[in-house]
Amino acid sequence: MKAIVMLMFAARLVAAQTNDVHFDVLRTLDGQNFTNATIIRTTPAYAVVDFSAGGANVYFTNLPVELRNLYHYDPVAAEQFLAAKAAKKRLEPTPRDRANASVAVAKQSLGVPVHVKLVRLNPDGFIVIRAEGPQADPHAVEAVIHNLPPNILPLLREFSEAVNDVDRTAPTGESIRRSNKADKNFHKWSTIIARPSEYYPRPGVRQWEFVEMGDPNWLW
């Protein structure tokens, strides 16, 4: 059996030079099985494997010794590669750093305060709004609103979930009652005054800065 395995690896030697080694099943030392797997790229520390269910980075330390030898695995070079990669990652800005930077940019371009109607909270965390005046959009748009009072988001989330329940299911008495209650609770918090920025953290999503609560009876 060992001789057969060695022959299989030898037969793939030429293909290995171009990182294009295919396996019906690639078995790792810790028992993972990658079906219909192809090594498409290698680094000093791991092989990039494309397989039937997706892709994975498989460390050479978790591969058979024949494969390690085939790709000239060097533990020292692998350690240096991983250390350099970790150092580079530490220098990269974190999601919080990027968020703080975007807020700083947004605050440099704040417009005049306008009335904003909070419509719902989307699953991705963006708030769907409608705004008045020249900053308005004929359709509801997504937004990031900074410094909202802490009690608004829970009410908005409750209201959005209740409305979604009614939309997804047959409008039973219980779901309608829940929606009406959520609507009543949220109504007095649904209108705010905020300042729009010209900064978009992603296409179509503008950042806003909360100023104060608006008149819940304000007409659109």
Q: Are strands 114-121 and 141-146 parallel, antiparallel or unpaired?
A: unpaired
Cα dihedral 11→16→17→20 (10° resolution): 120
Cα dihedral 153→158→163→165 (10° resolution): 140
- Residue 63's pLDDT is 95
DSSP tag of 144: E
Distance CA 124, CA 203 (A): 14
Mean pLDDT, the chain cut into blocks of 10 residues (220 residues total): 44 49 93 94 95 93 94 95 89 74 77 86 86 61 88 84 60 56 68 86 82 75
Report how far apart, in Å, the C-alpha atoms of 199 and of each of 24, 112, 145, 157 are: 50, 14, 12, 25
Tell me the pTM.
0.47
